[in-house]
């Protein structure tokens, strides 16, 4: 089954993302003109939540909460206003998933 094949590779993803933190637009400078990253913690939180849903492992939920809290504080400090859900912020997506 495809899900089983994918899940056997999941544990390495969050470690990679946590070890090699960075912005998408720094890795691909040509993308910065139309997709400038300024946060990674919303993406890390969403990733951990999807991994928790796929595997049921509590460690992923703990990571998701930690990343979400870090992101929430950073976005508040930057003056970000949450008026929509878009490519720049997955904050609402991770919040809804955390509540669920």
- Ordered by start, the domain boundaries in the chain are 16-21+36-99
Beta carbons of 89 and 39 less than 8 angstroms apart: yes
Instruction: Quote the pTM value.
Output: 0.72
- pLDDT value for 79: 78
> Which structure tokens are listed for 49?
């939540």
36 token code pair: 């400038």
Residues in the chain with pLDDT < 70? 1-18, 81-87
pLDDT at residue 62, rounded to an integer: 92
Residue 65: the pLDDT is: 92
Please report the pLDDT score of residue 47 as a whole number.
Answer: 85
Under the phi-then-psi rule, with left for phi > 0, alpha for psi from -120 to 50, and beta for the rest, what region is 56? left
Burial of residue 4 (CB within 10 Å: 0-12, 13-18, 19+) is exposed
């Amino acid at each position: 089954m495809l899900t089983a094949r994918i899940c056997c590779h999941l544990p390495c993803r969050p470690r990679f993302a946590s070890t090699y933190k960075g912005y998408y637009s720094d890795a691909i400078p040509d993308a910065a003109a139309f997709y400038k990253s300024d946060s990674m913690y919303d993406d890390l939180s969403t990733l951990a939540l999807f991994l928790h849903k796929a595997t049921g492992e509590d460690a992923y939920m703990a990571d998701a909460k930690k990343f979400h809290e870090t992101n929430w504080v950073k976005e508040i400090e930057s003056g970000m206003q949450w008026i929509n859900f878009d490519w720049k912020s997955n904050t609402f997506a991770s919040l809804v998933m955390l509540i669920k």
